[in-house]
Amino acid sequence: MRKLFLFLLILFNASVYGQTRLDAANKYIIKYQQLAIAEMRLTGIPASITLAQALHESANGTSQLAIKANNHFGVRCSSNWNGKRFHRNGNKKNYCFRKYNTVEEAYKDRSSFLSNNKKYAFLFKYNQQDYIHWAKGLQRAGYASSRAYAKQLINTIERYNLAQYDKMIKSKNDSL
């Protein structure tokens, strides 16, 4: 009886934890979907890719980098970065990350980072609704060091049905 109780307790806790993560992701998507769509309309970067990267890189907006630096994409400082800088735990030995005043600023800078960087130029040849090639291309170009990065993005897109946002192409009568 005690083992059954313990098993049920573990199962319940796992379910609650999974639901909490799901709720956090859905809240993040609701909060930032329009920003991702606006960036897609301006740059051609699929909204699904933007949201999947933001969810992944910022732990649904809860990571230290997201909270303290408004950096939802893990974009690091580069030699030509003149903006604010953030070092995790204040440790200068850690990687330098870009720090933003707002999340909107982070979304815009990440779009610019991809759009104006030669190593990502090939991505813009892919169809805006082809998130699979975009995810694999980001991994191939070295956006993240994880060998499973593309798979993680694709799984996130499919889990939360993010591809629906790639179909929100601006019509002639729409305005931003």
pLDDT tens, residue by residue, 40-71: 999 999 999 999 999 999 999 999 999 999 99
Cβ proximity of 35 and 63 under 8 Å: no
Helix-, strand-, coil-residue percentages of the chain, each rounded to 5: 65, 5, 30
Considering the entire predicted model, what is its pTM? 0.82
Per-residue 3-state assignment (H helix, E strand, C coil) for 87-118: EHHHCCCCCEEEECCCHHHHHHHHHHHHHCCH
Could you tell me the pLDDT band of residue 4, with boundaries at 50, 70 and 90? Answer: low
CATH architecture of the domain with residue range 2-167: Orthogonal Bundle (1.10)
The helix/strand/coil state of 176 is coil
Condensed to tens digits (0 to 9), the pLDDT of residues 66-78 reads 999 999 999 999 8
- 144/150 Cα distance (integer angstroms): 9
Report CA 92 to chain centroid distance, whole Å.
Answer: 25
Q: What are phi and psi of 98, to 5 degrees?
A: -70, 140
